[in-house]
Amino acid sequence: MARSAILNVMVQAAMKAGRSLARDFGEVQNLQVSLKGPGDYVSQADRRAEEIVYAELKRARPDYSFLMEERGEIEGSDSQHRWLVDPLDGTTNFLHGIPMFAVSIALERQGQIVAGVIYNPAMDELYTAERGGGAFLNDRRLRVAARAKLQDAVIGTGVPHLGRGHHGNYLLELRNVMGETAGIRRLGSAALDLAYVAAGRFDGFWEDALSPWDIAAGMLLIREAGGFLSDKNGGQDIFGTKSIVAGNEAIHSALLKVLKKPVKPA
Ligand code: 2AM
Ligand code: CA
Ligand code: CA
Ligand code: CA
């Protein structure tokens, strides 16, 4: 597997930030933590990892623009290229000592995602994808799962957090999906959820209220692993609606149908 120069830059940035996260994870009780909103924490580890990613990417491509979870938008002189960065996806897991978190970096060219990297330092799992070049876990080529029946499928999801609306709707969706699938999983990192779909570990996934930095790299991984993606309406406005439904062709369409089921009162 030959990686392009730009993908190598992204891999180096993600792994360097990942090593910083792994060090901080070992001393998580000593980290300064602050609250951004209800149930929404950010720690020194998030900020340190973001600084590392920013410095590495900026050094390699000084003109590109950025959208990063903690620093927000940074306009470069090249607005055709934009980095989408989540330095620590799964902060809640991280702060609770649960080793399910990742660095996520994607590159957009003229609004299209062309490269993506997700790195889980605790498991030393590196996911990479380039548009047209396939998706990989470490050096292994990825393919979404082949299971075609929802009743055999394991489906990942994200539960709406404190301070976000739609909890009632979510419970009705969950009940409908539960009734038709082999099992539900909840990792607590949207980036890893999508990587797991690309790797065929999850047969499908859905979640609401996600931001571009959570999902951009994972979206490319799934596409390059032969998977299907849409928003909850079946359209392609995933960033706009902040909703995502993913799987192989059969599971994606079956899951979309279950999610569209009229939600019945309990
Ligand atoms: P984070 O850890 O980078 O904040 C889990 O379902 C997903 O939702 C994760 O990608 C997580 O990203 C995000 N998330 C969890 N709690 C959140 C909150 N209170 N506000 C915004 N995003 C949150
Ligand atoms: Ca966060
Ligand atoms: Ca995130
Ligand atoms: Ca984050």
Instruction: Give the position, in ligand 1's atom list, of the atom nearest the Cα of 92.
Output: 2
- CATH, domain range 150-260: 3.40.190.80
Whether ligand 1 lies within 6 angstroms of the CB of 43 is answered as: no
- The CATH homologous superfamily to which domain 5-141 belongs is Fructose-1,6-Bisphosphatase, subunit A, domain 1 (3.30.540.10)
Whether ligand 1 lies within 6 angstroms of the CB of 242 is answered as: no
Residue of the nearest CA to atom 2 in ligand 1?
90
Distance CA 241, CA 59 (A): 33
Ligand 1 centroid–CA 157 distance in Å is: 12
Whether ligand 1 lies within 6 angstroms of the CB of 89 is answered as: yes
Residue 161 or 99, more confident? 99
Instruction: Give the position, in ligand 1's atom list, of the atom nearest the Cα of 94.
Output: 2
Ligand nearest to the CA of 40: 1
Ligand 1, residues 89, 157, 206: which to mutate, most atoms within 8 A of Cβ? 89
Whether ligand 1 lies within 6 angstroms of the CB of 193 is answered as: no
Q: Name the phi and psi angles at 236, rounded to 5.
A: -110, 15
Predicted ipTM > 0.90 = yes
Model pTM score: 0.97
> Which residue ranges make up each domain of the chain?
5-141, 150-260
Distance CA 176, CA 264 (A): 9
Instruction: Give the position, in ligand 1's atom list, of the atom nearest the Cα of 186.
Output: 6
Ligand 2 centroid–CA 69 distance in Å is: 7
The DSSP result for 37-73, as a single string, is: ETTEEEEHHHHHHHHHHHHHHHHH-TTEEEEETTTEE
Position 265 scores a pLDDT of 59
Whether ligand 1 lies within 6 angstroms of the CB of 104 is answered as: no
Whether 172 shows a pLDDT value over 60: the answer reads: yes
Q: Using one digit for the tens of pLDDT, what is the confidence trace for 185-229?
A: 999 999 999 999 999 999 999 999 999 999 999 999 999 999 999
Ligand nearest to the CA of 68: 4
Distance CA 171, CA 67 (A): 32
- Contact between 51 and 79 under an 8 Å Cβ cutoff? The reply is no
Q: Using one digit for the tens of pLDDT, what is the confidence trace for 45-63?
A: 999 999 999 999 999 999 9
Distance CA 153, CA 250 (A): 11
Distance CA 162, CA 168 (A): 13
Radius of gyration of the chain, Cα coordinates, nearest whole angstrom: 18
- Residues whose CB is less than 8 angstroms from the CB of residue 54 and which lie 6 or more positions away in sequence, other chains included: 66, 68, 71, 85
